[in-house]
């Protein structure tokens, strides 16, 4: 999540270029329908790498997708900028292996925000923004301030039935803050009181929209929380209806595996939904 163009997440995107982003289709060579874990794009992160993956069950259907990364990725990360970094750069799109073709998620982005972002006292801790996009990359590229209808398209919310339960637009937020280039408008859980100085940020789910479409689901996870080596699985709040047919997640997980010293941030419990 980011609410204006002058947020410190721009610094990490600049830094990511310096540490050489690697987008590779290191996908599997598994036969169609086979069960197992398959890998897709990868990205240099800290002293390690993060890569996409999907798990398929014995029936060949995807059951889980997300990102996996070693503990080294949490070290050697960029420091918060000391000066205004300017407008953010577009995030690097990362793709899942072919085994996710039935999943409604099209692609994802994985960004580290060293100084956090507004609002102060809430999300201004070093953390990771992980966007799972239901939009195509071509649609995401239209979320651009150069688009003459950028503000109007960004502020156009989906019909309420397509928005996860209890989620809504951040109140009293002008378009220039509410609509983030390359992402869209961020929607928050209106039942959760987020009070600066009182809210304890460890992990949270944000949703997003663009031009009347449900655009993404976004786990935001604090770096310090990951360093505590959590193993949690929580239910996602779901919409009443869906805008496109596919497999959608019903849960999300943040986990650490001691035997391999690796982490996962994933969407789980995939179920078939039909567009209404």
Q: What is the pLDDT along the chain (276 residues), one digit of tens a residue?
A: 654 433 444 344 434 433 333 334 344 434 456 899 999 999 999 999 999 999 999 999 999 999 999 999 999 998 876 444 444 556 899 999 988 889 999 999 999 999 867 677 778 889 999 999 999 999 999 999 999 999 999 999 999 999 999 999 988 888 888 899 999 999 999 998 877 777 788 999 999 999 999 999 999 999 999 999 999 999 999 999 999 999 999 999 999 999 999 999 999 999 999 999
Between CA 115 and CA 107 the distance in angstroms is 25
- Give the pLDDT of residue 144: 94
Between CA 150 and CA 164 the distance in angstroms is 23
Q: Which residue has the tokens 């994985």?
A: 110
Alpha carbon 52 to chain centroid, angstroms? 12
* Alpha helices in the chain, H assignment, sequence order: 9-18, 137-141, 150-155, 175-178, 223-227
Q: Which of 15, 258, 242, 252 is nearest to 130 (CA)?
A: 252
Between CA 69 and CA 232 the distance in angstroms is 16
- Give the pLDDT of residue 88: 52
In the chain the first and final C-alpha atoms are separated, in Å, by: 28
Cα 185 to Cα 4, 216, 223: the distances in Å are 11, 10, 24
Which residues lie closer than 8 Å to 185 by C-beta, 6 or more apart?
A: 154, 155, 157, 169, 178, 179, 208, 209, 210
Between CA 9 and CA 22 the distance in angstroms is 19
- Give the pLDDT of residue 203: 95
Task: Supply 200's token pair.
Answer: 């304890």
- Give the pLDDT of residue 14: 35
- Give the pLDDT of residue 173: 85
Between CA 269 and CA 250 the distance in angstroms is 5
- Give the pLDDT of residue 183: 94
* CB environment 241-268: b (16+ within 10 A), e (fewer): ebbeebbbbeebbbbbeeeeebbbbbbb
Alpha carbon 71 to chain centroid, angstroms? 19
Q: Where are the beta strands (DSSP E) in the chain?
A: 36-45, 48-56, 62-70, 107-113, 127-133, 167-169, 179-180, 184-189, 203-210, 213-222, 232-235, 246-248, 251-257, 262-268, 271-273
Is the omega angle on the peptide bond into residue 92 within 30 degrees of 0, that is, cis? Answer: no
Task: Supply 191's token pair.
Answer: 């039942």
- Give the pLDDT of residue 32: 55
- Give the pLDDT of residue 189: 94
- Give the pLDDT of residue 118: 67
């Amino acid at each position: 999540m980011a609410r204006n163009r002058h947020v410190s997440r721009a610094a990490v995107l600049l830094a990511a270029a310096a540490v050489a982003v690697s987008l590779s289709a290191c996908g599997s060579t598994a036969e169609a329908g086979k069960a197992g874990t398959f890998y897709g794009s990868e990205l240099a992160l800290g002293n390690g790498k993060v890569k996409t993956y999907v798990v398929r069950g014995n029936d060949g259907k995807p059951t889980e997708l997300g990102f996996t990364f070693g503990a080294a990725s949490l070290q050697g990360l960029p420091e918060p900028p000391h000066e205004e970094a300017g407008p953010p750069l577009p995030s690097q799109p990362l793709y899942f292996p072919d085994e996710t073709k039935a999943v409604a998620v099209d692609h994802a982005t994985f960004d580290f925000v060293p100084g956090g972002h507004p609002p102060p006292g809430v999300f201004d801790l070093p953390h990771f923004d992980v966007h799972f996009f239901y939009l195509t990359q071509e649609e995401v590229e239209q979320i651009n301030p150069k688009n003459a209808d950028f503000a109007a398209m960004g502020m156009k919310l989906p019909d309420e039935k397509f928005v996860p339960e209890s989620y809504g637009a951040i109140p009293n937020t002008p378009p220039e803050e509410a609509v983030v280039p390359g992402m869209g408008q961020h929607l928050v859980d209106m039942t959760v009181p987020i009070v600066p100085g009182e809210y304890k940020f460890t992990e949270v789910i944000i949703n997003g929209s663009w031009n009347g479409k449900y655009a993404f689901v976004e786990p935001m996870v604090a770096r310090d929380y990951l360093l505590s080596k959590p193993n949690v699985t929580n239910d996602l709040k779901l919409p009443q209806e869906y805008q496109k047919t596919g497999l959608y997640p019903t849960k999300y997980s943040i986990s650490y595996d001691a035997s391999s010293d690796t982490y996962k941030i994933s969407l789980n419990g995939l179920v078939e939904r039909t567009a209404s």
